[in-house]
Amino acid sequence: MNSSAESPSEAIRRQYMSLKAEIERHNRLYYVEATPEISDFEYDALMRELIQLEEQYPVLRTVDSPSQRVGGAPLEGFETVLHRAPMLSIDNTYNEQELREFDERVRKGLGGEMPAYVVELKMDGVAISLRYEEGVLVRAATRGDGLRGDDVTNNVRVIRAIPLRLEKGAPGALEVRGEVYMRNEDLERLNQRREEEGEEPFRNPRNTTAGTLKLLDPKVVAQRGLRFFAYDLVSGDEVILVSHRQTLENLRKWGLPVNPHFEYCTTIDTVMDACARWNARRHELGYEIDGMVIKVDSAVQRTRLGSTSKSPRWVIAYKFPAEIARTRLVGIKVQVGKSGALTPVAEMAPVKLAGTIVKRATLHNFEELSKKDLRVGDLVEVQKAGEIIPQVLRYIPEERPQDALPCPIPVACPVCQGEVRKDPDGVFIRCLNVGCPAQVKERLEHFASRRAMDIEGLGPAVITQLVDRGLVEGPADLYRLDAGTVAMLDRMAEKSASNLVAAVTQSKARPLSRVLFGLGIRHVGSHTAELLAGRYGSMEALMKAPVEELQGIYEIGPVVAASIRDFFDTPQNRELVEQFRALGLSMTEAQSAGGDGAGPMQGKTFVVTGTLVKYSRDEIHDRIKQLGGKAASSVSKKTDYVVAGESAGSKLDKARQLGVPVITEEEFEQLAGGGV
């Protein structure tokens, strides 16, 4: 280590402290104030600058540095810690009568005195206790058994919504209770990445949150996008509780994010009105709630009411009824993915559930299918896990047909009849034939998809014919097709054939990131492909990168690095890249169109909310960037437009509050100069 690394100058220290304060300010604006001023890209640039300074001058790095959110070395395990005050559970109610009975017990416990209540959303996440000393986060623990929990401090440090240092004015010693959760869109993005990488999708936000907090690698935790809301304080030390409303205001004042959707109610009737209103609106939130929490507001009254051995007497949870539908299981289809994984899929009679029509649901793997003992003809119960992914819960025994038979576990690939084998350390059964038509078709569909090579006209029907007729065995063969050959396919006219061949030819100019994603390298989704392309700039440079160097790239860990290295060390894959080069594919990373000052959206910031008809969320974000704009995740005064689709929620409300122009998808296309 050189002397400059040990002793930064005063100017460097001032630069570092200013940068650190700026990042902390933006964290507060984003997570507490909900009024971000900069894009995610600009935030990441500030973070990179901070990390570079700390790498050059290690003495600058402290435990409350924003860089600690990146994640350090993997953990060996979790220690068990004693909670300063027990994290008691909350009793549940399920209907109006039980809520009224709770109110009667409270009034009786107060000798007839009337209470006021604060009604909060019941987050479907994981309860966490945070300990701050001298304003700095020193410990985070899970609820555990209520008396003891797991010390997950290293994992919690990487959650950007949780401040590592509180604002000035916070008590010197503070214990905060709150909920770690995951937004639906973050789970969707994570599952899309996992499916791209050939891994099983996660089922719902809560289980994913719980599993993430127990990971031994904080770097992986940092990538999951967990969020946090604080909802209470532990009395003692320098904290004197007066009312719950004041507690929530103090938490927010000290820099902790508090869910804004709480209501002060003076009667049990207004409490029930609030519960009914949020039961109807819960799908607008973008994250999961499974009910409401009703708390006595007055701290004095809470003390008088006290607690049982398990639960406080001054709080109750009202659980929303689960949205479950019944339908008939009409078939179980086995799909073969691009990695060869055989996945059973339930095909059901159409049923309406959580606002959409559900006809199919993945059964994940044959171990789960066997455990649930699902059979064709069964009447089954279905729910949307986390309101996102359709999930078959169980069959109804009394409705089972006499001739219903278990689905057999495949002993051969259902498509090519080739050998199958169960993963040694996993649950998947895979087809071992890399030339299996189903795998080839899946890989080609992935290669031609919008996020990869974006070959217009090369859909599943065309790919099926090309593979079945022996015209294409892999992606390189696409670039050897001529219009005459393509025109011989069913329902393919001469003009359509020419257009398809032209689209294939145009895809040769796609940047390196698209090619890398299209190759289907295990664990390399579109985001990782962009990281690699930005780092190396060319396929040739990437193919030479040692695994140690790959592992050193921000957001790329040892598993991903090893997978990349293994891919390029495989002779068939190196041969495929050589074929691409000979066929004229670019395989370099071109500068994005947004960076040259051109484009009708240049300098404009957009936020997209709701469900769109023509675009997926990733597609419209790409479109915005291609036309020179910025795609942001939250609405602020600096937002130029909000693009609102169906079922737009809180972001639309925020735009209206701030006077930000709201446009439809059609108006967005007019602004873009005419669609895709």
Residue 122 appears among annotated catalytic residues: yes
Tracing tokens 């435990």 back to the chain, one arrives at: 63
The tokens for 191 are 């599952």
Buried b (16+ CB within 10 A) or exposed e, 218-246: bbbbbbbbbbbbbbbbbeeeebebebbee
CA distances from 601 to 349, 453, 613 (A): 45, 24, 21
**Catalytic residue among 20, 122, 295, 630, which?**
122
Strand spans (E) along 160-303: 173-181, 227-233, 263-265, 289-296
* Rounded (to 5) percent helix, strand, coil in the chain: 40, 20, 40
Per DSSP, 381 falls in state E
Nearest by Cα to 315 from 220, 177, 437, 215:
177
Task: Reduce the DSSP state of residue 268 to 3 states and report it.
Answer: helix
DSSP string, 622-671: HHHHHTT-EEESS--TT--EEEE-BT--HHHHHHHHHT--EE-HHHHHHH
Burial label, 570 (beta-carbon count in 10 A; 0-12, 13-18, 19+): exposed
Structure tokens at 50: 């901070």
Contacts of 654 (CB under 8 A, 6+ apart): 34, 634, 635, 660
The sign of the CA dihedral 15, 20, 21, 27 is positive
Residue 283's beta-bridge partner residues? none
Residues in Cβ contact with 582 at an 8 Å cutoff, skipping those fewer than 6 apart: none
Task: Judge contact between 635 and 655, C-beta under 8 A.
Answer: yes
Question: H-type helices in 399-507, by residue range?
Answer: 437-448, 460-468, 475-478, 483-487, 494-506
Cα atoms found within 13 Å of the Cα of residue 59, Cβ hemisphere only: 12
Distance (Å, rounded) from C-alpha 167 to C-alpha 201? 38
* Residue 614 DSSP class: S
Q: Is 246 left (phi over 0), alpha (psi -120 to 50) or beta?
A: alpha
Q: What whole-number distance in Å separates Cα of residue 493 and Cα of residue 483?
A: 10
Instruction: Determine the Cα–Cα distance for residues 426 and 392; give it in Å rounded to an integer.
Output: 22
Neighbouring residues of 388: CB distance < 8 A, sequence distance ≥ 6? 184, 187, 188, 204, 205
Catalytically annotated residues: 122
